[in-house]
Amino acid sequence: MIRRILVSLIAISALAACVSLGGLSLFTESVDNGSNAFSSGSVDISTSPASAFVTMLNMAPGDSVTDQVTVSNGGTLELRYAVTTVATNADALNLRDALTLTIRMLGTNCATFDGTQLYTGTLASGAIGDPAQGEDTGDRTLAASGSEDLCFRVDFPSTATGPEDADTTATFTFAAEQTANNP
């Protein structure tokens, strides 16, 4: 009888040990990894001077004018840009087609005009690259906060026979887009 009670007591104490195991306390720790921030970048192109960087009045055949423009990326993303031209023809004399535009990279300076040539043709069709989305032949790339200098030369060819007393005003559009995820 005593032996049986003893066995029962042992069994009960073993059970109690198991129960106390279930309530075992553990040291634990978790760590927060915060500040996982996201933001969208920006594409911000500008030109300096902002307008009228190359002008000449009363041109005669043989005249030319060359001036510099700085193209800047004020944004936080790399961009690519293209240039297109719209030249007015209010007097219908087509001076815009008689004038030749040549665009070069800066090179030594715009006076020596020895940088890589990016365009030569009529003023009316002046262009660098293609503003269509994506990378096209001739598109220019600017890193974030980067800039480059271009030289624009407008010639009234000495061989031109006219038009006289004609006017045109050109607007050069510098169109930029992100290069990221945009092949």
CB closer to Ca ion, 155 vs 177: 177
* Residue 79 neighbours by CB distance under 10 Å: 27
Rounded to whole angstroms, the Cα distance separating 69 from 51 reads 9
CB 88 within 8 A of CB 96: yes
Q: Please report whether residue 174 would count as binding Ca ion according to CB under 5 A.
A: no
Share of the chain residues as helix, strand and coil, in percent rounded to the nearest 5 = 15, 30, 55
CB closer to Ca ion, 72 vs 141: 141
The site string for Ca ion over 112-151 (x = CB under 5 A, - otherwise) reads ------------------x-----x--x------------
**Least distance CB 136 / Ca ion (angstroms):** 4
CB closer to Ca ion, 47 vs 66: 47
- Site size for Ca ion (CB under 5 A): 3
Instruction: Determine the distance from the C-alpha atom of residue 31 to the mean position of all C-alpha atoms in its chain, rounded to a whole number.
Output: 39
Angle at 182 between CA 176 and CA 183, to 5 degrees: 110
Closest residue by beta carbon to Ca ion? 136
Q: Please report whether residue 164 would count as binding Ca ion according to CB under 5 A.
A: no
Which residues form the interface with Ca ion (CB under 5 A)? 130, 136, 139
